[in-house]
Structure 1
């Protein structure tokens, strides 16, 4: 009976990990700005929370996904929150970025 309980617990934990890989809560990478958002908010709701985006780009390989960059000042420099939306809802957000989010290939 204990073994069955352990097996069920392990299966549930594994299931939660697999789901967490596809949808992530906004993550604070230094400034805490991304924490103003939560998974599932719309682009309009993110605009209200963070101000209008400084850049918005659709993923050319998957038009259901887009990334918006929200600017905020840190002393004498500007940093950005990268908010990724899938089918119009936030799936993940991180802050502390020095450039706008983009799907373009990096320059070599």
Structure 2
């Protein structure tokens, strides 16, 4: 066994367990029986089963392929566009703004 290996419940078993638990009332003793049966079957602790159920089908952050890159204009054109806007903005400002003492 390697150091990073740990016991895990297969995803299909987690899905079936989640479906069985969802059909039972919250305070039902059958819920704990289902969890106990799962712990014995896979040789893991009760907290590991609850942790696996909590993390199962949890949405994960995904990013687009072009994350962080401009979508409308290529970066070189966007840079040129920003420079033009900066020049026009500087031309419109009164000179007193630039030469304050």
Q: TM-score range by the shorter chain?
A: under 0.3
Higher strand proportion (structure 1 or 2): 1
Higher helix proportion (structure 1 or 2): 2
TM-score by length of 2: 0.22
Larger RCO (CA under 8 A, 6+ residues apart)? 1
